[in-house]
Amino acid sequence: MTEHAVAIAGGGPTGMMLAAELALAKVDVAVVERRPDHVLVGSRAGGFHSRTIELLDQRGVADRFLAEGQVAQAAMFATTVLDMSDFPTRHPYSLGIWQNQIERIMAAWIAELPVRIHYGSEVTGLAQDDTGVEVELSGGQRLRAQYLVGCDGGRSVIRKAAGIEFPGWDATKSNLIAEVEMTEEPELGVRHDELGVHALGRLEYEIRDGEVVYIDGGPVRVMVTERRLGPSGEPTLRDLSEALVTVYGTDFGIHSPTWISRFTDMTRQAVAYRAGRVLLAGDAAHVHYPAGGQGLSLGVQDAVNLGWKLAQVVKGTSPESLLDSYHAERHPVGARTLRYTMAQGALQRPDERTKALVDVVSEVVSMDEPRKRIAGISSGLDIHYDLRLRGGRVEGHPLLGRRMPDLDLVTAGGPLRVFELLHDAKPVLLNLGQPGRLDIAAWADRVKLIDAEHVGAWELPVLGAVAAPTAMAIRPDGYVAWVGDGTDSGLREALTTWFGAP
């Protein structure tokens, strides 16, 4: 039987991101993916938001995605665009890029890393004991790993086999989504009616002056709300034709579909992201209505939170209890996103009372403070992990538990950006005070100590200006685990908590 330190079920965006994180940390990782290769049939997600771009920037690969996508102020709440161009980040926008492009770029990235991928293989079951997990594969094969992570999507076999409950809310509405050719000229754009929201658009588009401009020809991406909640089986071209006729009075002569699928507003979250040696990430841990485009970002961020922790546990530098901080940090973020998407879904209801509510909410979120608050959630830039859960400090600098900004630094070796320090996914102790004043020799094999200068104000998204700290310990996921106030008080405890005993 093949053995690996970590096995990942599912090579979608979450599984690939986790595999990259583990490979960067030099952990032996294998991905089991049901599809015969990385190609995703259909466009599915339409992009991701600012914090996800930042995470990719922290690994030095954001440019690959930016080169193929379209940046735009695309985050919306009710009918209001949440313009975040004034947020203090290098990426104050969302990126429009189809999921099949995202997965292609990710697959090319992990092909450069020591990641083993078993395509065309399906996980069918698991059995865990004190030292590892035996993973059953289709065709009767097995593999063994110290830990297994279920990144196998909303219908996760891993979640079910591990006996993790998935409570939440059943679907109340369904939409058909498809890519088809049309013999008639389609009515491109978004339509609202008594059934809900519908949209027709070309797969190829550009953003010009903030507006979507479709490029003529090629397939049309159809999204249509169904009159009644659709069945769970695969939808057909006929279902799509009927739904289009109901809304538009014509099916525009649809033919030659490359992809037809159905999604709903079912909203559920795993009660635990970990059961012993089995963990869940991405859609396997949470499903929700796609309004607001949050799912892929949430999964990629789960992976970046989990990867370095799992690597340290596997290498024996941190105790297994470090893994509990994964659930403690990511479950609340997932729960908040679920509430946010349920609110978005509710605001799409077509009745007059909801329309009145939409008007009121739109007015509120167009005001500056509410805009920032909601844009902070939508972009993921306001995430604040409660580090108390690992015995960390309760109060302290606002940066504690928040994302480290990508500051311009001046070091003895020349200028660089903070995110460049994170490319190899290692912890960083950044000293902005007197050079050489911090001594962490006992962690020298694990934590990079950088003496640097930063000139300029300190500003955090949503919060605004904060006092300039003198030093900070930055976790590999880019979140700050310790903030110095001129002394090294609490530094050793923080390094031990997060990066293991010296």
Ligand X SMILES: Cc1cc2nc3c(=O)[nH]c(=O)nc-3n(C[C@H](O)[C@H](O)[C@H](O)COP(=O)(O)OP(=O)(O)OC[C@H]3O[C@@H](n4cnc5c(N)ncnc54)[C@H](O)[C@@H]3O)c2cc1C
Which of residues 10, 69, 469, 500 is near ligand X by CB under 6 A?
A: 10
Count of CB atoms within 10 A of residue 101's CB?
A: 15
Residue in 167, 121, 96 with CA at minimum distance from that of residue 15: 121
Q: Is 9 in the site for ligand X (CB under 6 A)?
A: yes
What is d(CA 203, CA 148) in angstroms, rounded to the nearest whole number?
A: 36
Specify the pairing of strand 29-33 against strand 2-9: parallel
The string of DSSP letters for 250-310 reads S-TTEEEEEEEEEEE--EEE-S-SEETTEEE-GGGTEE---TTS-HHHHHHHHHHHHHHHH
- Segment near ligand X (CB under 6 A), from 53-61, 106-114, 148-156, 484-492? 148-156
Q: Is 122 in the site for ligand X (CB under 6 A)?
A: yes
* Closer to ligand X by Cβ: residue 262 or 397: 262
Mask 34-73, x = binds ligand X (CB under 6 A)? xx--------xxxxx-------------------------
Q: Which value, in Å, is the radius of gyration of the alpha carbons in the chain?
A: 23
- Segment near ligand X (CB under 6 A), from 76-84, 149-157, 373-381, 404-412? 149-157
Which of residues 22, 29, 33, 59 is near ligand X by CB under 6 A?
A: 33
What is d(CA 43, CA 67) in angstroms, rounded to the nearest whole number?
A: 18
Q: Do residues 169 and 56 touch, judged by C-beta distance below 8 A?
A: no
Q: Do residues 438 and 491 touch, judged by C-beta distance below 8 A?
A: yes
- Segment near ligand X (CB under 6 A), from 30-38, 224-232, 371-379, 431-439? 30-38
- Shortest separation between residue 351's beta carbon and ligand X, angstroms: 24
- Segment near ligand X (CB under 6 A), from 109-117, 210-218, 290-298, 451-459? 290-298
* Closer to ligand X by Cβ: residue 127 or 367: 127
Q: Give me the numbers of helices (H) and strands (E) for the chain, helices first please.
A: 12, 31
Count of CB atoms within 10 A of residue 476's CB?
A: 25
Q: Please, which of residues 172-231 interact with ligand X by CB under 6 A?
A: 177
Q: Is 336 in the site for ligand X (CB under 6 A)?
A: no
Mask 246-285, x = binds ligand X (CB under 6 A)? -----------------x------------------xx--
What is d(CA 440, CA 445) in angstroms, rounded to the nearest whole number?
A: 10
Tokens of 195: 């059934």
In sequence order, the β-bridge partners of residue 77 are 80
Q: Do residues 46 and 101 touch, judged by C-beta distance below 8 A?
A: no
What is d(CA 92, CA 458) in angstroms, rounded to the nearest whole number?
A: 16
Q: Is 290 in the site for ligand X (CB under 6 A)?
A: yes
- Shortest separation between residue 294's beta carbon and ligand X, angstroms: 5
* Closer to ligand X by Cβ: residue 224 or 495: 224
- Shortest separation between residue 252's beta carbon and ligand X, angstroms: 20
Which of residues 152, 179, 406, 451 is near ligand X by CB under 6 A?
A: 152
Which of residues 146, 269, 294, 497 is near ligand X by CB under 6 A?
A: 294
Residues that bind ligand X (CB under 6 A): 9-15, 32-35, 44-48, 99, 122-123, 151-153, 157, 177, 263, 282-283, 290, 293-297, 299
